[in-house]
């Protein structure tokens, strides 16, 4: 189980995630047209999606490593393991997978990133990440005392 130092690290990562999420929501354009018209803002949004997803998954990865004593192979496995350890629900796992996939496409440029997809994903990512923050915090809080 995560110890005090590990719990502190998890809470720091979750606090960072909350900050990145606030920034993403501040950047969120009101319309697709607004999103399409500003290349600089589009790139900033993509970067915030990357930071939000990486930061919250990093927090989850610490829990997975502490519970399994093995690092997960990738970010999707973090979510799968959190579900297996009953840290998160099946529904939350299913909600996070698309966010991780989008983050991977952004970072690794697997294909051309569709601006419409990024714009539409912002609210779903925000909801899933907030739920994941709550679930990880709920799991770690009793262990940090």
Separation between Cα atoms, residue 17 and residue 105, nearest integer Å:
20
Extents of the domains making up the chain: 4-144
Predicted confidence at residue 4, as pLDDT, reads 43
The per-residue pLDDT for range 118-142, each reduced to its tens digit, is 999 999 999 999 999 999 999 998 7
3-state DSSP helix/strand/coil % of the chain, to nearest 5: 80, 0, 20
**Given the structure tokens 């979750």, which residue do they identify?**
14
Predicted TM-score (pTM) of this structure: 0.91
CATH level 3 topology of 4-144 = 1.20.120
């Amino acid at each position: 189980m995560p110890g005090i130092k590990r719990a502190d690290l998890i809470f720091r990562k979750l606090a960072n995630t909350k900050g990145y999420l606030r920034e993403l929501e501040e950047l969120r354009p009101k319309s697709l047209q607004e999103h399409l018209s500003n290349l600089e803002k589009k790139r900033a949004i993509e970067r915030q999606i990357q930071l939000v997803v990486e930061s919250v998954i990093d927090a989850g990865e610490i829990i997975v490593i502490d519970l399994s004593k093995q690092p997960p192979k990738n970010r999707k496995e973090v979510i799968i393991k959190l579900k297996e350890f009953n840290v998160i629900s099946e529904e939350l796992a299913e909600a996070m997978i698309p966010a991780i996939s989008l983050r991977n496409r952004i970072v690794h440029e697997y294909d051309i990133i569709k601006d419409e997809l990024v714009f539409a994903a912002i609210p779903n990512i925000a909801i899933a990440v907030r739920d994941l923050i709550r679930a990880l915090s709920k799991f770690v809080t009793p262990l940090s005392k």
